[in-house]
Amino acid sequence: MREIIFDTETTGLDPRSGHRLVEIGCVELIDRRESGRTFHAYFHPERDMPAEAEAVHGLSIQFLSDKPLFAACVDELLAFLGDAPMVAHNAAFDFGFINAELARAGHPALDMARMCCTVQMARKLHPGAKHSLDALCTRYGIDRSHRVKHGALLDAELLAHLYIEMTGGRQIGLGLAASSTVAAATVASPGPAVAPSRPFREPRPHAATPAELARHAEFVAALHQPLWHDSP
């Protein structure tokens, strides 16, 4: 099964207000495993960059000034996406921006039936808990120490790890009962996922004592016509 985990960065919150897509990062999964194939691109937004947006992702209009327009990369992006399901954190936001850019470039919108939202998944798995990408990475023990600002490809890579854990861990589909049990315990845990720890126990003695052997001999001697005395 092929899936695309992706994230976007934008100039603001609503494409209907004139905000634009400035970065997209995609990670390919095959059977819940990273294939190593990614797609990453920056886009010139054809407008200014609000200070509050730049504070989130660090992308200035000066940095983006020599980047291509979305329309120049759209065919390459669509070829990478193919018809695979698309997974994002707060996916409706990302789909909204991609579809707005596709409309500007004269392409049909992505089918919303392809959309899988990890925020919605997290709300079902952990009702009442925090569902930000940072909070969920902490819950599942995913290292995000290198995440200083938002970045589309970095966040897509973190989300790929998170999605794998939220859907059963790396052993999904292999039929390993023990691994499935551990993964299920991880999902249900209210705190960060940690490796199971068990105290060391000395081996138990299994040899029969002389008293036990004597009682067994008495029991066998009292049996009436045991089968092992019959002739073959």
The amino acid sitting at 30 is I
Identify the active-site residue in 19, 89, 131, 150. 150
- Which helix (H) or strand (E) segment is 177 a member of? helix 177-188
Given a contact cutoff of 8 angstroms between Cβ atoms, the answer to whether 3 and 82 are in contact is no
- Which helix (H) or strand (E) segment is 195 a member of? none
44 is catalytic: no
Give the residue among 125, 136, 192, 187 at the shortest CA–CA distance from 159. 136
Given a contact cutoff of 8 angstroms between Cβ atoms, the answer to whether 166 and 184 are in contact is no
SS3 24: strand
CA distance 170 to 164: 6
CA distance 156 to 94: 12
According to DSSP, residue 16 is labeled: G
CA distance 148 to 35: 26
Up-side HSE of residue 143: CA atoms within 13 Å toward CB?
2
Q: Which are the catalytic amino acids? A: 150
